[in-house]
Amino acid sequence: MLGFCLGILGLILGVIYSEPIKRIVWKGYNERTKNEKRIYQLVESSKDIIYYCEIKPQFKYRYLSPAIDEILRPNLSKDSLKNPYITFEIVHPDDYHLVEKKIAGKMDYNKPIIVRWRDVHGDYKWFEEFATPIYENGEIVALHGIIRNIDEKMMAQKELEYKVEHDPLTGIYNRAFFEKQKKLYNEDLDESVGIVLCDLDELKWMNDNFGHQMGDKLIIQTSKLLNKFSNENSMVIRIGGDEFAFLVIKTNELSLQHLSEQIKKEVMEYNEKHPHFMMKMSIGYAFEASSIGKMEELFTHADQKMYQDKNNRKPVFAR
């Protein structure tokens, strides 16, 4: 009897309050829908690329934000929904393995993924991606993440690296770069290697008598002359105020001797054209068939030979 009475009471209350409850429920639904729309609009208008892709049972994008259309090419987001492998086709060849590892779940997702993608003009742009894997039964089945264009960041980084490793006066490599390369070939890369040292004679005399501007001009002219002999295996470096060096790999002693002779010849031709602004240079070189553990010794031998050349030539250029 009690149960029957409670049932009747519930039915009466339901009739009385049914309309207000409906309004509350409907209001809550509308609010949720509005919030979902706001979130969707935020995602759609974001300058970052936001995505969700399934990996299993089949690789496909469930969502790819239109920001990718603005950055790379029109309609790429829609095209990728139809053909998810487009992103593989436009990735830089050197970064292809990173995309493969990301899809295969074989990378550290706590670290950003840096890749380059080709835009509609054929130029590659830099991107930084933060991906989050989704697992089922210990197996990666999907990925979602955010991708940001970092061209400006990479450009700033390259500019900083350039400044760190280049001489501001001449634009050629500096002592910091030289020491870095010496360490590399001394500890990690084993190559036949040579060092050619070139020292400007009388630079101090030039500075004292004609001013540092004229001295700087001579340094710049010297760097231009020496830079003519730079190639993929031979780098010219300003290692001090009046000191330049060639770091030459995959070479032999005969080639280093020839390089030294060519530099002397080029200096002579320069002096014939500029008799009132002459360049005087002492040169020494040294060679090692194996660079590992020999770079400091190699530099010392080249330095000794350079000073021998300077001492032998002193009567010629002494003032």
Residue 145 has pLDDT above 80, yes or no: yes
User: Can you tell me the mean pLDDT for 129-143?
Assistant: 93
User: Can you tell me the mean pLDDT for 47-73?
Assistant: 93
Question: Given pLDDT bands bounded at 50, 70 and 90, which one contains residue 118?
Answer: very high
Residue 227 has pLDDT above 60, yes or no: yes
pLDDT of residue 277: 87
User: Can you tell me the mean pLDDT for 120-147?
Assistant: 94
Q: What is the CATH number of domain 49-155?
A: 3.30.450.20
Residue 156 has pLDDT above 80, yes or no: yes
Residue 286 has pLDDT above 90, yes or no: yes
Q: Rounded to an integer, what is the distance from CA 164 to the centroid of its chain?
A: 14
Residue 130 has pLDDT above 50, yes or no: yes
Residue 6 has pLDDT above 70, yes or no: no
User: Can you tell me the mean pLDDT for 86-104?
Assistant: 93
pTM of the model: 0.66
pLDDT of residue 7: 44
The domain ranges of the chain are: 49-155, 166-317
Determine which of 62-66, 99-103, 115-119, 311-315 has the lowest per-residue pLDDT on average.
311-315
Tens digits of per-residue pLDDT, 246-272? Answer: 999 999 999 999 999 999 999 999 999
User: Can you tell me the mean pLDDT for 234-251?
Assistant: 96
Question: Given pLDDT bands bounded at 50, 70 and 90, which one contains residue 317?
Answer: very low
Cβ neighbours of 246 (radius 10 Å): 24
Return the CATH class of domain 166-317.
alpha beta
User: Can you tell me the mean pLDDT for 173-181?
Assistant: 97
Answer for the pair 143, 84: CB distance below 8 angstroms, yes or no.
no
Residue 180 has pLDDT above 60, yes or no: yes
Answer for the pair 248, 195: CB distance below 8 angstroms, yes or no.
yes
User: Can you tell me the mean pLDDT for 290-303?
Assistant: 97
Quick one: which of 109, 52, 106 has its CA closest to 80? Answer: 52
Give the Cα separation of 131 and 154 in Å (integer): 20
Residue 130 is encoded by which pair of tokens? 């933060």
Answer for the pair 94, 46: CB distance below 8 angstroms, yes or no.
no
Give the Cα separation of 224 and 244 in Å (integer): 12
Answer for the pair 185, 249: CB distance below 8 angstroms, yes or no.
yes
User: For residues 15 and 239, which has the higher predicted lDDT (pLDDT)?
Assistant: 239
Determine which of 12-16, 55-59, 235-239, 253-257 has the lowest per-residue pLDDT on average.
12-16
